[in-house]
Structure formats: C-alpha cells, structure tokens
A and B are shown apart, each in its own frame.
Chain A
Amino acid sequence: MQKSNKSNLETNKFTFPKTLTGVEGLDEITEGGFPQGRPTLICGGAGCGKTLLSMQFLIKGITEYNEPGVFMSFEEPSKDLSLNVKSMGFDLEKLKADKKLVVDHVRVERSEIEEAGEYDLDGLFVRLGYAIDTVKAKRVVLDTLESLFAGLDNQAILRAELRRLFHWLKEKGVTAVITGERGNGTLTRQSLEEYVSDCVIMLDHRVIEQVSTRRLRIIKYRGSTHGTNEYPFLIDEDGISVLPITSLKLDNPVSSDIVSTGVPGLDDLFDKGGFYRGSNILVSGTAGTAKTTIAAYFADEQCRKKEKTVYFAFEESPQQLVRNMRSIGIDLEHHIKNGYLEIHSSRPSLNGLELHLLKLRKMIRDFKPTTVIIDPISNLMNVGSVHEVRSMLVRLIDMLKINNITTFFTSLNQQNEDFRPDLAEDSVSSLVDTWITVRDMEGIGERNRGLFIIKSRGMGHSNQVREFIIRDSGIQLLDIELGPNGILTGAARKSHELNKKVSKLKLQDELNRKDREILRKRKILEANIEALKNDFESAVEELSILKANEGLEATASKITKGKKK
C-alpha cells in the first residue's frame, strides 16, 4: 500500500513540501519531516518528551537548516528551559544572542487575572508575530497551548481563538509544532487535534516489566505517506533519537569478499574459505560449548587484518574477557591498545531493547566498525517479549547489513531433548546467513565438543560434525575419525586411535619377523648355493684329476709298449 502510494508520487513528480526535523530517525519515518508551513501536533502524557522533541526541532532547524525559530513556552520560564536542554548540549542562550531564536514565556496565572467581558487573544498573536518577525522565524513551537485553558475561563472564546491561531500560523507560512497533554479518551485534553489536523504525532512512555520504553507514533499525516508503526525512541545526552525500521526493502549492497573465521581448520569447512563480508553469522550452542572462544578467535582474526571490531559482551566485563582469552593464547588487549577493538560490556537488563539498539547504532556511527560481535544475543531475549525481541533483531540485522558490517552473534540455547531450536535460535535463525552450531556430545562418561554448519547462504559447506578441543594453545579442530559405528569422539576416538596404533605395531612386528625370516632363508639359500658350488667345484676338480691320471697312464703304457718291442 505504502509502496504503491510512493511510486504514484514519484511518477507524478510531486513531493509534499516538508520541513526536516533534524531529529534522528524521525525524518525517515515521516519521509522528510513535518509538513511545511503547517502546524503539527505532538501529544503525549507527562514526561514523555514533548518539550524536548519540539525544542530539538527548533534547535536543529537553526543549527542544521538555518531556519530561525520561536519557542513560545506556556509552562516553563525561559531560564528553566535553557537549563533543561543544556544537559543535552543545546545552548539556547547563544542562539538567542545570535538572533536565531526567541524564547517567550507566556504566563497565564488564573489567580492574577480576572475576566470581565469579552476579549480575544490578540496579545498572543501580537507577541508571536513580533517574535517571528524579529528573527524571521520559519519554525514555531507552542508548548503547551493547553495551559491557556487552565488560566482562562471563557472556553468558547479560547476555542474560537485557537482556531484563528492555527489559521493565522498557516497564513504566516511557519512550520509550527504544538504540544498537548494527553487526555482521557482523546489525544489531547482540550481536543487540540480538532484544530491541528495536518500531522499528529503521539509520544508514549510505557513501563513493561520494570523496563521503560518511549515510543512514537504518527497518528495522521495529511497528504503524505508515513511509517505507521510505533517506533521506540530514546532520550540521551544527544537529545531524542527515533529508531525506524531501517530498511523496508532488502536492497543493500552485498560483498563477495571472504573473511576468515580465525579458527584453525574451520575455514576449510566452507567451500570459499570463510564467511562473506557483511553477512551475519550465528554460533549457537548450550552452555560451555566455547561460543565465546570462537567469537574471540573471530575478533582476533579481524583485528589482525586491521578491521575495526566492536565486541558487545553481555556476560563478561572487558577485563574478564581479555584475561580468559589470554589463557588460550589470544591477546585481545593488544588490539584494544591499537584501536582496532572495542569491548562493551553491560547487563542486558540495564536498559530496554531499544536502548541497546540505539547504543549500537551510535557506536556504529562513531567507531565505524566493519565487524560487530554480540555475545550472546540470547541474553537480550530476557529483556522483552518474543515479538519485541524479534522486531528488534530484524532492525539490528538490517542496520548492520546496510552498513556492510560482518556480524557475529552467539546464542546460548537451552539444552532440550528434541533438538528443537528455542526462542533465541528461532528468532535469529531465519535472519542469519551462516549458522554454526556447537554441541555437547555426551557418551561413555564424558563430554566432547562438536561443531557443525547448519547453513551457509551462498556457499557450499561441509556436512561433517567436527570435534574440537581447546588447549592452552587454543582451539584445535580434530580430523574425522571413523569407527565401525560412525564418527568417534573423545575417549572412543582415543581408544580407536590406540587400537589402530597397536594393530599397526603388530603389523610392523610381523613384517619385521618376515623380513628376518627371509633374510635367514636367503642366508640358508646362499649357504646351500655355496655348498653346491663347492660340490661342483670339487667334482670338477676330481674330474680334472681323473683326466690327468688318465693321461699319465696313457703315456706310461706307450712307454711300456715301446720297451716290449
């Protein structure tokens, strides 16, 4: 619906004139800001940030868009206002001195004013007009008009005058923001929404399970499309930031670069030798399956390649993480010192999901990492409901993807019998690109760690369950050991290896024995040959002796014959 509207607008080449608010995120939701030259109503309960939002609208208008502004306060004196917003880094006094801002405190005290006869609010008009003309204001804030109702008796006059006021504001061409206290069953106590009908924004402040979340919703926006959801927002030292669902379309640029996993041997399980840059990797597993270790390996590898990395540790303090990883030969401290690694630790329950998300967002903006590690993401599950967590994760992943940041999540899952994914996995698994599971493999009185890849989008991967061990020197992926009943791990692997060794030794023995036997046989053979040779030689010798004898006898007989003659 939204899309078709938008494309219609685009084809008509018409853009609704809007005024950028300068409030982070709000311009995206409103698709360009508040309606230009028209009044916008911001309503909400006490303490939900109405004054701050309108003040930020004014100040950003001055500092970023060079649009001077008028702040007409019906509640707080000018001095108090200056003080209040100073903590957010806004210096009202300076803007006033620069003739960019007029703050007029309109004080209507019922106890001081009596009414006798008819009147109008020309005083207000004159003051407003005067203020606007002094600084040539483009933006006007009236905070909170409803105080007039408390100060003045004649409601009929007031209502008529308010109608005139909004009309007058439109004629003046200023972009006005009017704040109003939320009423019972109505958006504002005095039904201001009846007069301001161009754009109505509601702020809300809810506490669910002791965690408070501020939310913003655009109730109506005449003549424009807008985000219709409730968007969480945050008030911190930089003022208000609203968290839009960062991308409604999935058209972020993708990279075919490969980043190494950092774990020796793990790269080989992926056909392309690692993860795609900018993809999301989930490592899930039960407690004590070395998820954090794998994450640290990844962090180490990225830092070595001079990729800026942010490590969000929701379970360990930075010092603890550094110490623990040092024990297996990973020096994270060195990377921190070189400025490639930042470790942020906080308890997930410290603040609501949105705050975490916003913090992340700010960090990404300030530190500009190319790798983000969140360890573990499952701890965030405790903070909100299933739905909230899921929507937050979608936003988180979208945000990271848009920035082409490689993200590494770990997720602790409950050990359950049927191997069905639990909430954490369930929420994330369809969003991530690569999913590695580390699992305990239990049997014959021991526990071994196994690792396998469940999915890896856009890349072939091994289907083997690889056993790995952690030593002082780090992680080692072991080669597959096939036994008669499948893949062997742990002690079974060892005994199998021993068996193999024994049989190998036996075989060697046998071979040696055979060798020796042959040697012996050869010796016998050679001896026999020698004996035969000797026999032969002696026979030859005998023969030659015989022949010699025969010759001698022949000559002897010749001699005797001759004598007889």
Chain B
Amino acid sequence: MENFQNNTDESGRYNFILFISGMSTKSSRAIENLREICDEHLPDNFDLQIVDITNEEIQAVNYQIVGVPTLIKTNPNPKRTILGDLSDTDKVLKILDLA
C-alpha cells in the first residue's frame, strides 16, 4: 500500500536504465527502439539513463548484467528486466504494461 502511494507520489514517471556495450549495432538498435516506444507511449514521462558497461564495468557487476543490451525499469514498481535489443515491440509493451 505504501509502495503504491510512493509510486503515485512520483506521478508514475518511468525510470529506465539501459545497459549497452560500446557502439555495437545491437546497442544502438536498443536505444532507437526504446526511444520509439517511449516517445509513443510515455511522452515526456520517462527518464532514461544509458550505461556503457565497457566504461563503467562496476555497474555491470552491481546490476547483475550478463546479456547486453539490458533494460531495467526501476520505477514504477514492479522492477522489470528486459534482455535484448527491444525489437519485439509488442512483447516489450506487454512486459512494461503499456499495451
């Protein structure tokens, strides 16, 4: 209940962390796909942090990153982790509960 309250307090703003590695095609595709989805479904209602694990290796350990790209939705609850370049838009929307 409290959690729910907290989430509504932050007006349901979406928080994403996208882990990529360097300038691989999969990484750039993931960024592109995520932007498209967000622009369409969450206009101006999201924060996106992009972490390049080749520069910030420790983050890969901290966030238990194995596959790249990985998208982690930290807010609102529940926390979701999506692995892949997000090309399967329908699936992504379903996972993020935006469909």
* Contact in complex: B61, A130 (CB < 8 Å): yes
* Contact in complex: B26, A114 (CB < 8 Å): no
Q: Once bound together, how far apart are the Cα atoms of A112 and B70, in whole Å?
A: 12
Which residue in chain B gives the minimum CB-CB distance to A123?
B65
Q: Once bound together, how far apart are the Cα atoms of A370 and B84, in whole Å?
A: 67
* Complex interface: chain A residues within 8 A of B80 (CB): 114
Q: Once bound together, how far apart are the Cα atoms of A399 and B82, in whole Å?
A: 59
* Complex interface: chain A residues within 8 A of B70 (CB): 119, 123
B-side interface residues, number (CB < 8 Å): 33
Among B14-72, those with CB < 8 Å from A are 19, 21-22, 24, 26, 29-30, 33, 53-54, 57-58, 60-61, 64-70
* Contact in complex: B83, A106 (CB < 8 Å): no
Q: List 16 A-B contacts (CB under 8 A).
A: A108-B66, A114-B82, A115-B83, A116-B83, A116-B87, A117-B30, A117-B86, A119-B68, A119-B69, A120-B21, A121-B66, A122-B21, A123-B67, A123-B70, A126-B54, A126-B60
Binding site for A on B (CB under 8 A): 19, 21-22, 24, 26, 29-30, 33, 53-54, 57-58, 60-61, 64-70, 80-88, 91-92, 95
Interface size class of A (residues with CB under 8 A): 20 to 34
Decide if A6 is an interface residue (CB 8 Å cutoff).
Answer: no
Give chain A nearest CB distance to B66 CB in angstroms. Answer: 5
* Contact in complex: A117, B21 (CB < 8 Å): no
Tell which of A117, A118, A123 touches B66, judged by Cβ atoms closer than 8 Å. Answer: A123
Which residue in chain A gives the minimum CB-CB distance to B88?
A116
Q: Once bound together, how far apart are the Cα atoms of A152 and B65, in whole Å?
A: 13
Q: Once bound together, how far apart are the Cα atoms of A118 and B33, in whole Å?
A: 12
* Complex interface: chain B residues within 8 A of A124 (CB): 66-67
Give chain A nearest CB distance to B20 CB in angstroms. Answer: 9
* Contact in complex: A115, B82 (CB < 8 Å): yes
Question: If A114-B95, A124-B66 touch, does A119 touch B57 (CB 8 Å cutoff)?
Answer: no
* Contact in complex: A114, B83 (CB < 8 Å): yes
* Contact in complex: A115, B64 (CB < 8 Å): no
Which residue in chain A gives the minimum CB-CB distance to B81?
A113
Supply 5 further A-B pairs (C-beta < 8 A) apart from A117-B86, A122-B21.
Answer: A108-B64, A114-B95, A115-B83, A127-B66, A151-B66
Give chain B nearest CB distance to A112 CB in angstroms. Answer: 6
* Complex interface: chain A residues within 8 A of B54 (CB): 122, 126
Tell which of A113, A121, A126, A151 touches B57, judged by Cβ atoms closer than 8 Å. Answer: A126
